[in-house]
Amino acid sequence: MNGKRNLLSKWGLLFIIFSTSSSCAFLHAQDRFRVASYNVENLFDTKDNPEKDDDEFLPKGMMKWNDSKYWTKLRNITRVITAIGEMESPALVGLVEVENDSVLHDLTKRSPLRAQKYEYMCTHSPDVRGVNVGFLYQRDKFKLLGKNEYRVNPPEKNGRPTRNILHVSGRVISGDTLDVFVCHFPSRRDGQIASEPYRMAAAKVLKTKTDSLFAIRSSANILIMGDFNDQPADKSLSVVLGAGSMLGQNISKHQLVNTFLHRLGEKDFGTYKFQGEWDLIDQFIVSGNLLSDSSSISLVKDSPRIFHPEFLQEKDSAYGGFKPFRTNSGPNYLGGFSDHFPIVLDLIVREE
């Protein structure tokens, strides 16, 4: 009887070891790869750049932007990125409205975010105010292959210059190349109709670059993110860029898909609130290959979402409901996070 019990115990132990090993192998064979995009609302340092119109964000400027406010801003951004990651920090983060390399250095190397071991890069745009886009990545999850930035020429002579588009290529653990674009399309400062040609010009540049990637690799893995200052159904994105709905039929590998287009019009679903109305201007656009479950890198279909926990919200006393808890409202310092909510998605990356 004791021999039979010992035999059963041995078989039970072997089963547990085999099951555990199999489970661990499965977990190791595919990793969650979280990506975030965040318009951080004017991340400026406190130093004057004589070549840019950054006077508002100086200690004696309209915003009275000093070291205390600056470092509070960096800590707030750290809190958001950490919260987005939950148990594990995002592998990639696109940042919109950053001034320069210096602020990204302070964010990744001198603020509490340094514990998450991000590397960074920043565009060097002709934007009058000195606004750029940035990109954070973790080297153990994304091996940098190359970086480019593309200038967007104004559609009219002497037109207002805008932000460059950042293009970063990297290799993930599956061995695949992931091409990431971080964008900040021209604003609607002069009204939607008057400013639309500027955003369409940006979309044309982006379209040219993605078409070039598809010509090289028909199964290109493309991830586009940022603040487009247009809704998913507006011309710049739906017509010029040609980004359709992810609910469409027979989506090809070389087609671009907007992960939020099918959710346009949902109540209180937006990243930016203007005069009581939600705008869905921060978006993810992916190549069709990332929608295929058979791909070694693929989108978790229900994962694209707006991240708006309570600490990022404040009461909208003028229009009701809630709105993003921003850093500044005009010249008034509120001490919040941003006038935009960040967006998040998850990819599944399978090891080669």
Residues 253-266 have a mean pLDDT of 96
For residue 3, is pLDDT > 80?
no
Residue 28 forms part of a structural domain: no
Residues 153-169 have a mean pLDDT of 96
- Structural contact between residues 90 and 344, judged by C-beta atoms closer than 8 angstroms: yes
- Structural contact between residues 182 and 96, judged by C-beta atoms closer than 8 angstroms: yes
CA angle 263, 268, 272 (to 5 degrees): 90
Could you report the per-residue pLDDT of 71-96, keeping only the tens digit for each? 999 999 999 999 999 888 999 999 99
Residue 117 forms part of a structural domain: yes
- Strand partners of residue 168: 147, 180
Residue 147 forms part of a structural domain: yes
The rounded mean pLDDT for the chain is 92
CATH value at residue 202:
3.60.10.10
Local structure of residue 62 (DSSP, 8 states): T
Residue 64 forms part of a structural domain: yes
Query: Out of 18-22, 34-38, 175-179, 195-199, which region has the weakest mean confidence (pLDDT)?
Result: 18-22
For residue 307, is pLDDT > 80?
yes
d(CA 304, CA 34): 10
Three-state DSSP at 276 gives coil
Residue 23 forms part of a structural domain: no
Residue 25 forms part of a structural domain: no
d(CA 256, CA 287): 5
Residue 127 forms part of a structural domain: yes
d(CA 199, CA 185): 6
CA angle 242, 243, 249 (to 5 degrees): 105
Quote the pTM value.
Answer: 0.91
Could you report the per-residue pLDDT of 316-344, keeping only the tens digit for each? 999 999 999 999 999 999 999 999 999 99
- Structural contact between residues 148 and 180, judged by C-beta atoms closer than 8 angstroms: no
For residue 294, is pLDDT > 50?
yes
Three-state DSSP at 84 gives helix
d(CA 255, CA 292): 12
Residues 61-70 have a mean pLDDT of 98
- Structural contact between residues 264 and 222, judged by C-beta atoms closer than 8 angstroms: no
Number of independent structural domains in the chain: 1
From the number of C-beta atoms within 10 Å of its C-beta (0-12, 13-18, 19+), residue 14 rates as exposed
| Residue 243, pLDDT score | 98
Band of the pLDDT at 4, cuts 50, 70, 90? very low
Taking CA atoms, 162 is separated from 42, 147, 309, in Å, by 15, 19, 31
Residues 97-110 have a mean pLDDT of 99
For residue 6, is pLDDT > 90?
no
Q: Which domain holds residue 305?
A: 35-350
- Structural contact between residues 198 and 228, judged by C-beta atoms closer than 8 angstroms: no
Higher pLDDT, 2 or 76: 76
Residue 20 forms part of a structural domain: no
